[in-house]
Amino acid sequence: MFNPAFDIKLNNASPGDYINDMILKTLAGVTQIDAPLFLKMQFNGQQAMADLCAYDPSNLIVGILGGSAGTTRDTFELAQQAEQAGARVALFGRKINLAESPIELVRLMRSVIEGDLTASQAVIAYHDHLAEFLITPLRTLKEDNLITEQVLH
């Protein structure tokens, strides 16, 4: 599920609250047998994700889309914030496919989610890995350790 690609009249609601409201209204009209087991959606912030994940955790698994490629820090922050809010699946296409070292990126995502590294520490470890294997990074360490996606602030 993607957010609308146009401005919405929110009446003081956040975009995440609006999207959650639309999802819950839709699910309310679906019988148990026809209800989805999984939602794949855009991350609209930790509170919106936590609210949605708490709706019916025994029957509905919430997963996040990766969105734009962003920085490596964005990738780790997104995975960490979504997991902390209750999301249980991350479906990252561009964030992994466009990475200089996709396997190392996924390995470090797991370390961040499990709490072994902070997102910033994982970016440093990622750049150390790139240097060790003589892989030229797309961005400098300083640039890559910035959070550039507004929803993650």
Residue with tokens 């990475």: 99
**Domain coverage including residue 133:** 15-152
pTM for the model stands at 0.90
Give the pLDDT score at 68: 81
- Mean pLDDT, residues 114-124 taken together: 98
Q: Is the residue at 96 inside a domain? A: yes
Instruction: With a cut of 80, say whether residue 148 has pLDDT above it.
Output: yes
Q: Tokens in use for 73? A: 């820090």
Q: Is the residue at 4 inside a domain? A: no
Give the pLDDT score at 50: 97
Task: List b or e across 92-104, with b for residues whose CB sees 16 or more CB atoms inside 10 angstroms.
Answer: beebbeebbeeeb
Query: What percentage of the chain carries pLDDT values higher than 70?
Result: 93
Q: Is the residue at 2 inside a domain? A: no
Q: Is the residue at 120 inside a domain? A: yes
Q: Which of 47, 102, 56 is nearest to 39 (CA)?
A: 56
Q: Which residue has the higher pLDDT, 8 or 57?
A: 57
Q: How confident is the model at residue 15 (pLDDT cuts 50, 70, 90)?
A: confident
pLDDT tens per residue, range 66-81:
888 889 999 999 999 9
Q: Is the residue at 89 inside a domain? A: yes
Q: DSSP per residue over 22-35, as a string?
A: HHHHHHHTS-GGGS
Q: Is the residue at 136 inside a domain? A: yes
Q: Is the residue at 1 inside a domain? A: no
Give the pLDDT score at 5: 66
Q: Is the residue at 3 inside a domain? A: no
Q: Which residue has the higher pLDDT, 132 or 17?
A: 132
- Tell me how far apart the alpha carbons of residues 145 and 123 are, in angstroms, rounded to a whole number: 6
Q: What is the CATH number of the domain that holds 148?
A: 3.20.20.70
Instruction: With a cut of 90, say whether residue 87 has pLDDT above it.
Output: yes
Structurally, the chain folds into a number of domains equal to 1
Element (H, E) at 151: none
pLDDT tens per residue, range 20-38:
999 999 999 899 899 899 9
